[in-house]
Structure 1
Amino acid sequence: MSTDRTYPGLGIAVCLFASAVALAVAPVFMPEGYSWFSHTTSESAAQGVPAAWIARLGFLLFGIGVLWVTVQRRDAWKRWATVFHAGFGIFMIATTVFSTRSWDPTVAYNPIEDAIHSVTATLVGFCFAFGVLLLLLRRRQERRNVRWVDVVALGATVILPTAMMLLPHLAGVFQRLMFFVAYVWYLREDYLFLAHSNHSPNS
């Protein structure tokens, strides 16, 4: 296997796993009143919240990991899918900089930062949905087997946000499921990158 491809591939996996761990443990350090059932990952990184840096680190690592895999997969993804997935990474990093308001109404917050966070978080979902859709359509046009992970990921971008709106008391659960799907999808693409490098003539 070519080390030029192995090291980036493993680095991407480590980055994504570290991000997932940070977001998974962040609720443990939240003050009383936070519930991972009803409160989102963004709220664990909210303005004025102690230990918000943990979730923000998770967002940062997620964005970096996605940008990294986008660079490695750009030839396979082609232009527009690459643009959307790069957008996912950029806007995910932006959520590290611009945080939402706290779930606690007594905590002061910057409304402009909160509004920017809403925009960047929405664009993260938009970019993921269209990035996956473009790849799914192109793979079908090329008469490749449709990957179940693409279908599940695309379905999740519609079903889970809808579920969050209809069942707000479980918004945290549904959003974390969305993150899980995204992690699995990007790790799958990273695996395909490694598998391709293993069969490369230069391996």
Structure 2
Amino acid sequence: MKQTVDLRFRWAIAGLLLTSLLALLLATTQMPASYVWLRHTTSESGAQGIAGAWLARLGFLLFGLAVLWQTAVLHKIWPMPVRFFLGAFGVFLTAVAAFSARPWLPNLPYDPVEDWLHSFAATAMGFAFALGVGLRWWARSWEDKRRILDLTAVAAAVIIPLSMSFLPAWDGLLQRAMFAIAYLWYGFELLADQAKIREETTPAVVDPHE
């Protein structure tokens, strides 16, 4: 019974992840005409003083809550250091939703303290994700194929922010690629472990002729 509830929780988390992804994708449709998704980031789609920014903030919040819930559900599978850093990723992601970035439009007023808090939370979020996934990679068996996705996620968490410093015209595309990899990593981690539980709970078929 407990494992059945656990499986239902995992599907609920998957639904929350998909809902948050949909909110972030649709957020661009609520932006002013000057918003260009290739150049402007998801943070800017939730910026201060922007009409329709609530949708991006909702996406950040739901993603953060999904990660925190997943961390709690997988507490017996993820080692404690992994839970700590990936849980911190969820906490900082909810902070990104609470504190908005400055708008890209030059004439709009904004709170510089809130902008700094957003930048701090976003930076800390990246470090927490890279460390958590890196530790998950280390804890896996060498035969586990998910180690490839782990390495891809860690590389993206390091390389993409650096690339954004040199390619500002592609900031939006690069940041969205990083978010896509994070969604894939959490989704695969959730569903792969769910399949493992299903295998363990499926009764074995006994051959009557043996």
Question: TM-score, length-normalised on structure 2?
Answer: 0.91
Aligned partners of 1:106, 1:194: CA distance in 2, in Å?
Answer: 49
Retained in 2: the 8 A contact 1:69–1:189? Answer: no
Retained in 2: the 8 A contact 1:5–1:197? Answer: no
2:153 is aligned to 153
Q: Does the residue aligned with 1:75 lie in a helix, a strand or coil?
A: coil
Q: Does the residue aligned with 1:77 lie in a helix, a strand or coil?
A: coil
2:58 is aligned to 57
Residues 48-76 of structure 1, C-alpha deviation per residue, up to 9 Å, x if partnerless? 00010000000001001111111111221
Aligned partners of 2:122, 2:47: CA distance in 1, in Å?
Answer: 13
Return 5+ residue gaps in structure 2 as ranges: 204-210
Residues 66-100 of structure 1, C-alpha deviation per residue, up to 9 Å, x if partnerless? 11111111221111110000000011001111000
How much has 1:143 moved relative to structure 2?
3.8
How much has 1:5 moved relative to structure 2?
1.6
Aligned partners of 1:87, 1:156: CA distance in 2, in Å?
Answer: 18
- Bigger CA radius of gyration: 2
How much has 1:146 moved relative to structure 2?
4.8
1:43 is aligned to 44
2:110 is aligned to 109
Amino acid at match of 1:171: D
How much has 1:196 moved relative to structure 2?
2.4
CA RMSD of aligned residues (A): 1.5
2:130 is aligned to 129
Does the alignment pair 1:183 with 2:183?
Answer: yes
Q: Does the residue aligned with 2:75 lie in a helix, a strand or coil?
A: helix
1:21 is aligned to 22
Return 5+ residue gaps in structure 1 as ranges: none
How much has 1:24 moved relative to structure 2?
0.6
Aligned partners of 1:74, 1:21: CA distance in 2, in Å?
Answer: 27
Residues 168-198 of structure 1, C-alpha deviation per residue, up to 9 Å, x if partnerless? 0000000000000000000011102311220
Aligned residues: 201
1:168 is aligned to 168
Q: Which has the higher helix share?
A: 1
Aligned partners of 1:43, 1:201: CA distance in 2, in Å?
Answer: 45
